[in-house]
Amino acid sequence: MPKGPIKLMHRVYKYVLPEVELELNKLRTIAAGIPDPELRTQALNSMNDKKFHCQGGGVYAAANLEYRHVLIPLIVALQTISDYLDNLCDRSTSLDPEDFRLLHQSMLDAVNPKAEIKDYYAYREEKNDGGYLHHLVKTCQINVAKLPSYQNVQKHVSELVGLYGDLQVYKHIHQDLRETQLLAWWECHESKYPELQWNEFAAATGSTLGMFMLFLAASEEHLSPQDAESIRHIYFPHVCGLHILLDYLIDQEEDQVGGDLNFCNYYENQSLLVERIGTIVIRAREDVTNLPGSKFHRLIIEGLLALYLSDPKVRHQSDVRKVSKQLMKNSPLTRLFFLINSMWIRKQQA
């Protein structure tokens, strides 16, 4: 694993970004042929507007270049399912929880190489995607089957995917029901995460990073079931929670306009928001020290902070800009290095 930021970014520029783009271009070609205009629009928009999700996830392949031919197509396909379904649910003509649940069954099937493909659009009007979602599911299934230790991580991956699906159902149903359902769901998990607030747990379930880390771990031939379980607990909830709280932080204005639920709005004030994110940063750093190659995972944490806090959305929201400045205060040089690289990558892709 790369232990320093320069070596990591060298691999990102040389291997990850070009190969992620190659995978996305293949998927764009398929998506452009989707017969239903609404499904086609959402499929293409998800890749064009959220490409950085796939690029960020692809960084995990930089830790094992020998398996990047498996990890990159797998990560891009699963992240693309996530982003595509998020678009469908966010801009849905439906508020039907059964519809959202069945759509996200595709993610559960994608991480189970023996699962049968289903009609994931059964509860909605828009159905004809020309086999696009099935293609994404099969791509994931083919690639997880190539990971030598996947049998030891599969149940943990499925657990995280299941939690992710739960979140997507509860956060997209009718606005009057969302908080009630989310709080009832939290009550089922609260005892396992006493250090978290309910919105922080919900945020953590929205991250795909734990899944990608388990894919990376499964690329090692001698990963034990005990190590797989440790990795799941190291990444969830703090690394995963940090990821999505930062995502919600920069999307506050956008979500307010769209009437979307935002987990950063549940803190009493901005000071508490900064304090809680800062605490989760500390816990995430402490957690990853227990992983082999802990320096790589520390780079991931600093990279997350740099990636989100350098986003152009920050500049246009005065409250978010203030929070960002406080979180970046006394930043280590590694984070500043990633900040410059994040801005450079965005400039090249503009």
Q: What is the CA radius of gyration of the chain?
A: 19
pLDDT number for residue 324: 79
Q: Rounded CA gap, 246 and 327, in Å? A: 11
* Residues 199/249, Cβ–Cβ less than 8 Å: no
Rounded to an integer, the average pLDDT of 42-64 is 94
pLDDT number for residue 350: 62
pLDDT number for residue 92: 67
Alpha-carbon 55 to chain mean position:
11
Q: Which residue carries 């987990």 as its tokens?
A: 263
- Could you report the per-residue pLDDT of 289-340, keeping only the tens digit for each? 999 889 999 999 988 988 888 888 887 888 888 887 887 776 777 878 888 8
Q: Which residue carries 């379980």 as its tokens?
A: 229
Of 188, 207, 181, nearest to 95 (Cα)? 181
Rounded to an integer, the average pLDDT of 54-61 is 95
- Could you report the per-residue pLDDT of 79-124, keeping only the tens digit for each? 999 999 999 998 766 789 999 999 999 999 999 999 999 999 999 9
Tell me the backbone φ, ψ of residue 147, rounded to 5 degrees: -80, 125
Q: Rounded CA gap, 300 and 5, in Å? A: 10
Domain borders along the chain are: 5-349
* Residues 73/226, Cβ–Cβ less than 8 Å: no
More confident residue, 334 or 231: 231
Q: Is the pLDDT of residue 190 over 90?
A: yes
Q: Rounded CA gap, 334 and 350, in Å? A: 24
Lowest mean pLDDT, pick from 181-195, 215-229, 262-276: 262-276
CATH 1.10.260 fits 5-349, yes or no: no
Rounded to an integer, the average pLDDT of 28-44 is 97
pLDDT number for residue 90: 82
Angle between helices 294-309 and 238-250 (to 10 degrees): 10
Q: Is the pLDDT of residue 44 over 90?
A: yes
